[in-house]
Amino acid sequence: MNKSTVGADCRAAEPHLFMPYIVIMAVVLTTTVAASQSSPGTTIDWAARTTGQQACVSPSATTTVATLKLVNANPILYTYDLNVKSYAIPGDDGAILTSLPPTKGGANPLSCQDFNAAVRRIWSSSLFPKDRRSVPLEETQSLLQSESRDIDAVTAGIPDQCTADDPAAANAEIQYLPLYNETAKQLSSSSSITFSYSEDNKHYNDFSLTERTRFSNKKTDASLHWRCGFDDVLTLSVGTLLTTLQYRTYSSQSVPTSSGGTQNELVVSGTGSWTPIGVALLNYKLLDTNTGPQFSLSASAGPTFKLGSAPSVSPIGWFTGLSVSAWHRLFLSPGYQVGQFADYPPGFASGSVIPAGFGALTPRERWTTRFAIGVTFQTNSLTKSNASTPTSSSGGKSNTTPKPTTVGAAAPSSQPSAAASSTHQ
């Protein structure tokens, strides 16, 4: 009886023993699925960087961490930096380490002449680039194979009783060739580097992806620049145009004469140096900066409108000029306005006596061009693009305020080849 009871109690307890494990497995599975659905990402093929590429993710309502994967890069010879500057929607180049003491390899059986010859052959190859050309990964891997004998000879160290003909080259090769070989061993046929950065739908991001040689830290000409989330190529702005075009009116006014009588004279109004009128401009961006006040240069054109009552001429005109904008909002636009001008009535000038019984004063209307300055404010961006626009890097330092904060990096342990920084402004 007792045995049967004990057995029944154990069987009844068995399902409860497994419940914690079921719960744990469900949590792990849910976490895995959620992780697989987050972190939006894009990929850039470095070998095809000269073609237009989509390197933008769809922005989300909340701040998320996105990833950018760089494939077919050459992390053997180069390091890669991704700088992401985020804006609200409206280094020092190194040198060859010549100061390093030469490595003496007493066991190197190579003659001094053969050692220096090997150094010269390697130094003249693309394993140590001297210009801004970006060396493909396949070319580097091929050279590491074909020049393996010279590489082994140089990395063994400077032979005893030998002075390197080119100490800078010898030191650089002794330091970096082992790193090249170690990195090459870790690479598959298609290398990839992953960067992480933050994104949301309230900011647009300006990306700069740069490639630098390991041994000299100099940029190559293969760097890319693109923008995601906002690109105000064509914008609409409205405001005031200060024009030198006069909107004259002519009237007859009775004035006293020296003889004690009165006479009618022509009186001219609206002869001020500057007249404020309304203007709406379409601004096509020509140049752009993303530092400080984010100055940009645009070609602008649009209609003008005479405010208040207008004389007999048309209140509508046309303005064209160049605009300098700040913060993608304020536009200062010097240029020229084309508008109708009311000239003196035939036979009259300012102060002319109007004969008694003269009819209506009819000015002569003509179109003319006058200098004007517009002060307008952006109302809408008419063209927005998420497409990347690869361009060559300018090679200058990045001026960011505040200092960029590293948000993610990924690289093989033997080669610090990738870094990402993000700045919100």
The token pair at 98 is 């010549």
The token pair at 56 is 């933008």
pLDDT surpassing 90 at residue 109: no
Beta strands (DSSP E) in 31-177 are: 41-45, 64-71, 78-88
State how far Cα 173 lies from the chain centre: 36
Predicted TM-score (pTM) of this structure: 0.49
pLDDT surpassing 90 at residue 229: no
Predicted confidence at residue 319, as pLDDT, reads: 97
At 379, the amino acid letter reads T
Q: How confident is the model at residue 300 (pLDDT cuts 50, 70, 90)?
A: very high
Predicted confidence at residue 200, as pLDDT, reads: 77
Predicted confidence at residue 96, as pLDDT, reads: 35
Predicted confidence at residue 298, as pLDDT, reads: 93
- Mean pLDDT of all residues in 333-362: 81
For 149, how many CA atoms within 13 A lie in the half-sphere containing its CB? Answer: 5
- Mean pLDDT of all residues in 33-43: 59
- Mean pLDDT of all residues in 202-221: 83
Residue 147 CA: distances (Å) to CA of 121, 144, 167, 305, 317: 9, 5, 20, 74, 72
Looking at per-residue pLDDT, the higher value among 179 and 104 belongs to 179
Which residues contact residue 317 at a Cβ distance below 8 angstroms, ignoring those fewer than 6 apart? 245, 277, 303, 304, 305, 306, 337, 338, 339, 340
Burial of 265 (0-12, 13-18, 19+ CB in 10 A): middle
- CA-to-CA distance for 182 and 59, rounded, in angstroms? 39
pLDDT surpassing 70 at residue 285: yes
- Mean pLDDT of all residues in 191-208: 78
- CA-to-CA distance for 44 and 30, rounded, in angstroms? 30
Looking at per-residue pLDDT, the higher value among 401 and 261 belongs to 261
pLDDT surpassing 50 at residue 255: yes
Cis peptide before 390 (omega within 30 of 0): no
Average predicted confidence (pLDDT) for the chain: 74
178-182, 200-204, 300-304, 339-343, range with the lowest pLDDT:
200-204
- Residue 409 contacts residue 238 (beta carbons within 8 Å): no
- CA-to-CA distance for 372 and 289, rounded, in angstroms? 26
State how far Cα 152 lies from the chain centre: 43
pLDDT tens digits for 116-148? 999 999 999 999 988 888 888 888 989 998 999
Q: How confident is the model at residue 7 (pLDDT cuts 50, 70, 90)?
A: very low
Q: How confident is the model at residue 63 (pLDDT cuts 50, 70, 90)?
A: confident
Q: How confident is the model at residue 21 (pLDDT cuts 50, 70, 90)?
A: very low
